[in-house]
Structure formats: structure tokens, C-alpha cells
Structure 1
């Protein structure tokens, strides 16, 4: 398999596998669920955490499967894991910018991908060794992000949001996995007041995406209210 050109379906699956691990890591590091509810695992030759609660795992798996279906259509610009206070105010957004992913017609999802540089050679579309190394580096940054972020209040929740490219319509199927909102909807943290923490830019063949964290202005207000309590 390592010597064969991957299909776009495999390309997308490689990213969504990473996204599942990243979401579990975020939930653990940001204390959304008790750390005792996570078990130790290894991915990308790196120690990671995974929730052992069946319902949490099922929700993440289903959500990422819905993300994957949109990625295969080439409609996704950015993916975010949004953390909310118990008052349902957005506090943090973990961003995954996939706008540079290649666009492939539906009829070619299982056709081997090929790329050529300016000199006419054919570099690997998905170099697995390089990809694992960069995914490992990204997981390392995610696993240490809490050291650079303020402590979250108790009883936070989270959701996953997908931002579509400008020319694409929101997916409207039944049953519907997504709730369409305007791109400037403050419920997703689309506000001006925020602090950005860069995490990692991944570039392995055609697999190119960036990750960062945004601390939102609502979080500063939450911290201020908490510190003023007697």
C-alpha cells in the first residue's frame, strides 16, 4: 500500500482518523470530562488519551463520519471544535483549516491520485512516514496546549462545526446531522475579540492543513466573573 498512489477516499480517511484522535485529546486536555474517564492509547507512535464512555465515543464517531462525507464532496473550508460555558457561551475554538485539500469529482473518489512538480517528477501524494511524523508533532502540541490557555470554568460542553466554502450550500438531508447557521453566528464564536494560539501547520504531500486555538472574548468575561466571586 505504501508504494501505491492513494485514492482521495483514503486521503480523507487519513485526515478524519487524525481528527477523531484530536477531538479526544482536546476533551481530555481541556477537562470537558473527568480525566479518569479516559484510557491511555497510542497513535502516530505517540501516547494519547481516548474517552472510554460509549456514548461519547459514538457521538464523536458519528460527527466525524458526517464531516468525512462533506470532505469527500470538497465543500469544507474549516472544521472547529467549539467549547461552551454552561451558559452556552463560546469560550474556545480549536480550528482545523482544510481549505487547501484537493478537490476531486465524486466519480473519481476511488481513482489513485497523482501529483507532479514543476520538473515533471511524481512526488508522493500522501507520504506515510512524513505524515505520521507531522501528525505526531501536531498531537504533541495539542497535548500541551493547556499550558498556554486559561483554565476553563466547570460544566463546559462542546460541539463540532463545519464551515463551508463560499459557493457551497449547507447540507440539507434527513435525518439532518448539521444545523445550518450564518457564518457570523456568535454561537460558534465568530466574534472579533479573540486571542489566537498557533499550533501546527501540516504539509505532507497533498495533505496540507493548519491548526490553531482561539480564546474568545466571552472567556475573558467568564474569567473576570469567576475571579470576582467571594
Structure 2
């Protein structure tokens, strides 16, 4: 009996690791897709790669690549250990310093044992602001890899289509990534506490979600109304 339990535990850990990798990869491609679709960087700074059965665009800019790599390196560790509750991409006007767009990805972990405190962190330092994590949730019925990929495809198609309703971004913009991680997470020294960088008087649009056997990711965009 003991051997069977150990095997089951190994299978669960492998499933969690695979699910965490799926979610982390989704975040990485989401960041690149948002930067391209919203024109934060010139189109010529991106190259096409095949992913999820789609032509995805990823940045060739060395600074952007290094920044995303630093985020993803830490995010992968936190994901495997069930420490993440949200990832947020904030687009900010360089001219005014105002946050004009905020893409939020809420992460729900199935069969999470208890509630946990979360804190928002970014690579730049801001004021701290804690947030409550989600409690346990039942897992969805088993899905095939194709079904998960189709759900992810639908989200990327929505992100691409969002240019039809999102206001044109005026002037030069920059971006920041916030990660909501449990308060007991090991945090690298270059990561600092951050405020939520909310959009003042913004509109919110809920987009599609996708789920694996271990995680569910909901997507939402907030944006500043045109003057």
C-alpha cells in the first residue's frame, strides 16, 4: 500500500509541475502579445513563433527580453510551489506617469489547503499593499491537452481582438509586471513591494479563462476611458 501511495504522490507532483509550466508559459506569451498588440514597442521589434497552433509574436528587444526572463525565472519557482494568485501587466504613459491599461490574470489553485496572505510585487519598489488569497476549490473534470490549448487559443484571439474596443494609446508608453505572491514566499532582493497600479475611473472587461487539472486562470483588462 505504501508504494502505491508514493506513486500517486509522484503523479500528482508531476501533474502540478506540468500545469504550473503551462500557466507560466501562458503568462510569458501573454506579456509579449499585449506589448505587441498595444503598440508599446514597434512591430519590427517582434518575431513570429509558432505556439498553441497560432503565430505568436515575441520581443527581440534585449532589455525587454532580459526583464521578462527575470520575471519568468522567479515566476516558475513560485508557480510550482503554489505561491501565485495573480499576475498583472500595467501599461503606463511615459509623458504623464498615468496608468492607462491593466491586464489582470487571476490564478486559482485547485485543492489549495487553506487561505494565504498575498503581497503585490514588482521589479521596481513601491509602497506595500497586502491582498487576500483564494481558498480551496474543487478541480474541473479532466481535460485533454487539445482542450486546454483551444481555451488558451480563445484568450489570445480575444487579446488580439481587444484593439477594436480599447482606446488608442497616446504617446510613448512603458510597462510593468506585478506578481501577487504569498507573503511567505522567498523574494529576490531586486523584487520590491508595489501598489496595485489600478486604473483611475477605468472600464473593465472580463475575457475568457482556461483551466488545467490544477489551475484556473481568469483574464480581465481595465482601461482608461478616452478624454
Q: What is aligned with 1:71?
A: 79
Q: What is aligned with 2:45?
A: 37
Normalising to structure 1: TM-score of the pair? 0.73
Residues in 1 aligned to 2:51 and 2:67: alpha-carbon distance in whole angstroms: 20
Cα deviation code 1:181-222 (max 9, x no counterpart) = 3xxx3xx3336622111221213433311001011xxx34xx
- The correspondence of residues 3-18 of structure 1 with structure 2, limited to 5 A, is 6-18=14-26
- Within the alignment, does 1:176 sit opposite 2:176 as a pair? no
Q: Secondary structure at the match of 1:98?
A: strand
In structure 2, the CA distance between the partners of 1:88 and 1:67, relative to structure 1 (3 Å rule), is farther
Q: Secondary structure at the match of 2:79?
A: helix
Cα displacement (A) at 1:33: 0.3
- Within the alignment, does 1:98 sit opposite 2:107 as a pair? yes
Structure 2 unaligned segments of length 5 or more: list them.
Answer: 1-10, 114-137
Cα displacement (A) at 1:59: 1.4
Q: What is aligned with 2:218?
A: 210
Cα deviation code 1:155-204 (max 9, x no counterpart) = 1000110124xxx427564x5242113xxx3xx33366221112212134
In structure 2, the CA distance between the partners of 1:206 and 1:196, relative to structure 1 (3 Å rule), is same
Q: Matched residue pairs, number?
A: 192
Q: Secondary structure at the match of 1:152?
A: coil
Residues in 2 aligned to 1:160 and 1:101: alpha-carbon distance in whole angstroms: 24
Structure 1 unaligned segments of length 5 or more: list them.
Answer: 105-114, 118-122, 225-230
Bigger shift: residues 203-212 or 21-30: 203-212
- Within the alignment, does 1:193 sit opposite 2:210 as a pair? no
In structure 2, the CA distance between the partners of 1:177 and 1:69, relative to structure 1 (3 Å rule), is farther
Residues in 2 aligned to 1:144 and 1:195: alpha-carbon distance in whole angstroms: 17
